[in-house]
Each structure stands twice: as C-alpha cells, then as structure tokens.
Amino acid sequence: MALAPLDDEIAISELISNPYPIYKRLRAQTPVLRVKSIGRTFITKAADTRPIKDNPELFSSNDPNTPMQRAFNAHTLMRKDGEDHMAERKAMMPTFSPTNLKTVWSPAYEKLAHEYLDRLPRNEVIDLFPMLAGPLSASILSIILGMPDATDDDMQFWSQALIDGAGNFAWADEPFERVDRAHIAMDTYIAKQAEILKAEPDQSALSVMVNAENPIAYSQIVSNLKIAIGGGINEPRDCMLTILYGLLTNIDQLEELKTSGNWSAAFEEGVRWVAPIQVSSRLVMQDTTIRGFDIPKGDVVMTIQASANHDEELFEDGDKFNALRKRTPHQSFGSGPHHCMGTHLARLTIGKLLLPLIFERFPNMEIVEPENVKWWGFGFRGPLNLNVRLN
Amino acid sequence: MTEVIFVSANGEKTTVEANAGDTVMQTALAANISDIIAECGGAMMCATCHVYVDDDWLERVGKADEDELTMLDFASSEVKPTSRLSCQIKVDDENSGMIIHLPDSQL
C-alpha cells in the first residue's frame, strides 16, 4: 500500500482561527492526511481516533519532538506509557475519588461559585472570561491541588506560561523564558506548601502525594502539579464559556433545560461541540495501516477529537450546538489510560453545580453582540471573550 | 469457545463469542454492544461500562471490590448489589455463558 496523501496547503493560522470547515472536508475526502505545516498525520474520523487512544502499545504518548519537555523542565506523565505513567497518575488519584468529589470539592466549589457570582454587577455589559470563568476555574484548582494561597492571577499566569511553552512549536525564546520565571515561583511555593501539608494533611493532590506510604519522587510530584495547573484552568474555563455561549444563542434550548433541569446535557453538548482539547499526538511504535494507508513506525499521528465529535456518521448537524440532541458518546475526555482525570470533577462542578446556579441567579442573562465572540485555538480551543448583561 | 450473553434494558438478548482472558467490556466493544461505552478503555477510571450480573451468575462472577464500588458511584444508572464494571470481569471457562444485563444509560 501507499503512504497517506500529503497536504502542503493547510496553514497553522487557518487551524487556529477555525479548523472545523477543514476537518469537515478532510472527513469527507482525506480522513488520513499527512499535514506538512503541523508535521503530523491527521486522523479525523471518529471510528479511527478512538482505537488509537485505546492502544498505547502501538500508539505511544511519548511523542519525542514536542516543546513540552523543555517547557515543563521534565518528562511528565502526559508523555509516558505503561507502568511509569500509571504510577504517577495513581499518586494523584485519591484526591479525585468519588467520595472526595462529593464531600470535599463539591461543597468547596459551591461556596466559591456563590462568592464569584455575588461579585458580578447587574445591568451592565461584562465579559465573563475575566470576571468569572478564568478566576473561578483557577480558584477551585488551587484548593484541589493544595496550593490555596496562590492567587487567581498567579494560577492563571502559571497555567498560561506552561501552555504557551508546551505549544511553542516555533521554539521561540520568549515563551520558554516566561515559563522559566513561572517555574521559579511555582517551585518555591510548592516546596513551602509541601512542608505545611506534611504537618497537616488534607485531601489535596499535593498532600496525598507527599504523604503517600510510598511516595513518587518529589520531582514527579512537582511535575504532576504543573500538569494539573497547565490543563486544569483553561479546560473548565473554555468549556464553561462555550456552554454559556451555546445556551445564550439558543434560547429555546435554554428554556427547555430550565424546565427539565437536565443541565448535564448542556455540559456534554458544549464539550462535544468545541472540545477544549482538540487534538492529541501519538508516536507510532510499529508499522501499521489506517484505512489502507501505510503508517510507518516513527510517524506521529494526531487524533483530532474535535473532528471526531462532529463526524457525520455519529452526529446530525454536528456543527450546531444542540443541548437537546440524542446523547451519543463524544471523545473530548479521550479514552484509554490517559482518559482525562478531571472528567468527573468537570461534570460535577460545571454540569451539576454551576449551570443551574448561574441561571437561577440570572434567569434573564443576555448575550451581547454574539458575533463579536472570538474563538481561538488549534490544540486548545475556546472563546476569548463572552460579553453578557446579567439580570 | 467461551461466550457472554448480553441482555439490553429492553430485554433484547445478544450472545457473543468471547476470547478467554478478555474482559466483558472488551468482548462488548468488539461485538459493537453500544450500551457499553467504556470511556476510559478499561483503566477503571470511569463508570461507563457499568453492567448488572444476572442473579444466577453473581456467585461465580463475583461482586465488586471496594475500589470498584467507589468508582461505581459515578454510574449514571442505579447501582444495585449485582452492579459491576465490566472492565473488571474476565471471561474464562468457569463463567462462560454468563448473563450480563445492560443498564438503560451510561452517561
């Protein structure tokens, strides 16, 4: 057989501004495509993306040529497989247990959500990105990770520095210099906080990791926290804004949910419609084939879950937000051993707590100039602004 | 040959051949039993492969252990004494022919 076709026209800038029309064309014409600008083989059909994630022996997470290792100053669990990955992941798992979600983090989130909603002014135009979605996501994360004294601004600055560094495929100096500054601040605070939590343990991630019977190496504890900081703010923030945009531009759906109370359906639809993490890279470990095309060992495939979530074979009018659609599994949380650790936390805090709370508090919230909402991102994607009037 | 019998919430029965050593979840996915989602792919990190073991088979198949019960808290359908995560049940000669009831929803 032959290699997959090679594209030299798709530009990174197009993928960042709006990748969905491109993915639609790829699903129809070239669902396995080597894309020169990204240096990866794009896999855009749902039936092909999931089996890749489920088969880590053939498709390894250890993609060697990304800026992530430089940005994190570490080889993190995100890029490991097998037992190494599992040991580091398991170290944090007690924090995210169902019992902790229900009895510790859920009440903590509810209290915070009330505080942040109390501060929002009524009857004027405000942007929910900086006023609610960013800081609330940062604040709950700082508590869950065991870094409660970090301010929302600190958390958001560190998170963005890590993301920008890990996504710095141009290998420019500035993002790496910025993330190095963030490391100094994070390392100092985490070291101090680890001592406090050894004396007074709680259910936070830092605490369960440092107080474990057989703790993982301290350097891995720190890397785990940084992975959570890097991924744990933008994802809830972006999906919160996406869901609110979807509901506020589809008032008929919103009214129906106010009656049914099925806010979880809006949550699932929002994360399906615009997946906060749009793509994942996997290194091919053995020669294989996908849809009849040769995929050689050493190639890096990119599963485009953003595209899988719009696949015509699974979703009717997948490009439209429809919180009332028939529930069909999406791939936004991934699958296999790297399945998102924050899945249940996000479903609970945003789907079950925040959405009912915000529409109970502001039942007549209106979106202002929805056409001016700017969507951005290829790897991570979400709205950069969401102007509303609360009443 | 070992086999598993799946019964959907509305009573539809499907008999599936299984490889001994595979989990019930893997068997269901291979046979396109769509009532099993298995979002985490068998890592016991979600509860989207929730099933009910038939009463007559529960003793042979076994009940959920403590870790599994904790994760079953996330199941979307009612958790019963017969509830299991199908990624944690291995098919073997002893339990071949087991009857597995599927819940009405996994999300």
**Position of tokens 């359908």?**
B77
Q: Token pair 């639609």 is at which residue?
A: A24
Please indicate whether, in this complex, the C-beta atoms of A336 and B38 are within 8 angstroms of each other: no
pLDDT attached to residue A299: 95
pLDDT of residue A235: 96
**Is residue B107 predicted with pLDDT exceeding 80?**
no
First-residue to last-residue Cα distance in chain A: 62
- Chain A residues inside the 8 Å CB shell of B41: 53-54, 335-337, 339
Exposure b/e, B17-51, CB count within 10 A at least 16 = b: ebeeebbbbbbbbebebebbbbbbbbbebbbbbbb
Show the tokens assigned to A151.
Answer: 């301010």
What is the residue extent of each domain of chain B?
Answer: 2-101
Stretch B33-44: mean pLDDT: 88
CA-CA distance, A281 to A49, in Å (whole number)?
11
Beta carbons of B73 and A339 less than 8 Å apart: no
The count of CB pairs under 8 A between chains A and B is 40
**B42 and B24 in contact (C-beta within 8 Å)?**
no
Q: Which helix (H) or strand (E) holds B3?
A: strand B2-7
| Gap between the Cα atoms of A82 and A295, Å rounded | 22
Nearest partner of B98 among B57, B64, B68, B63, judged by Cα = B57
**A337 interaction partners in chain B (CB closer than 8 Å):** 40-41, 43
- What does the DSSP 8-state code read for residue A3? B
Residues found in chain A: 391
pLDDT at residue number A86: 87
Find the helix or strand (DSSP H, E) in which A116 lies. Answer: helix A106-118
Q: Residue B43 and residue B101: Cα distance in Å, rounded? A: 21
Q: Please tell me the predicted confidence (pLDDT) of residue B70.
A: 85
Give yes or no for a contact between A313 and A29, defined as CB atoms under 8 angstroms apart. no
Q: Do B73 and A98 touch (CB under 8 A)?
A: yes
Q: What rounded mean pLDDT belongs to chain B?
A: 93
Q: How far apart are CA A323 and CA A261, in angstroms?
A: 12
Cβ density class A350-376: b for 16+ within 10 Å, e for less? bbebbbebbbeebeebebeeeeebebe
- The three-class DSSP label of residue A57 is coil
DSSP state of B102: P
Give the up-direction half-sphere exposure of residue A210: CA atoms within 13 A in the CB hemisphere: 23
Contact list in B for residue A98 (CB cut-off 8 A) is 70-71, 73-74
Task: Tell me which residues of chain B, numbers 40 to 79, contact chain A at a CB-CB cutoff of 8 Å.
Answer: 40-41, 43, 45-46, 48, 70-71, 73-74
Beta bridge partners of A280: A303
Q: Domain ranges in chain A?
A: 6-389
The Cα B31–Cα B33 span in angstroms is 6
Count of Cβ atoms closer than 10 Å to residue A260 Cβ: 11
The nearest CA of chain B is from the CA of A363 a distance in Å of 27
Q: Which residues pair with A283 in a beta bridge?
A: A60, A300
Residue A184 burial (10 A CB sphere; 0-12, 13-18, 19+) = exposed
CATH of domain B2-101: 3.10.20.30
**Phi and psi, residue B65, nearest 5°:** -85, -175
Helix (H) or strand (E) holding A86: helix A82-92
If chain A, 391 residues long, is cut into consecutive pieces of 10 residues, what is the mean pLDDT of each piece? 95 95 98 96 97 94 86 92 90 90 95 98 97 98 98 97 90 95 98 98 98 96 96 96 98 97 96 97 97 96 98 97 93 92 94 97 96 95 97 86
Query: How many Cβ atoms are within 10 Å of B96's Cβ, its own excluded?
Result: 15
Distance from the A349 Cα atom to the nearest Cα atom in chain B, whole angstroms: 14
pLDDT score recorded for residue B73: 86
Q: Could you say which DSSP state residue A31 is in? A: S
Q: Which chain A residues have any C-beta within 8 angstroms of a chain B C-beta?
A: 53-54, 97-99, 102, 268, 327, 329, 333, 335-337, 339, 341, 343-344
Residue of B nearest to A339 (CA): B40
pTM summary value:
0.92
B15 touches chain A (CB under 8 A): no
Q: Judge: domain A6-389, CATH 1.10.510.10.
A: no
Q: Mean pLDDT throughout B47-73?
A: 93
CB B86 within 8 A of CB B103: no
Q: Give the per-residue pLDDT at B66.
A: 87
- Of all residues in chain B, the percent with pLDDT exceeding 70 is 100
Nearest-CA residue of chain A relative to B39?
Answer: A335
Q: Does B38 touch chain A (CB under 8 A)?
A: yes
Contact A327 B107 (CB under 8 A): yes
Report pLDDT for B24.
97
CA distance A7 to chain B (A): 32
- Residue A299 · residue A35 · CB < 8 Å: no
Q: Does the complex come out with an ipTM higher than 0.85?
A: no
List CB contacts of A290: < 8 A, sequence separation 6 or more: A4, A32, A43, A48, A301
The separation between CA B98 and the C-alpha centre of its own chain, rounded to angstroms, equals 10
> Is B37 touching A (CB cutoff 8 A)?
yes
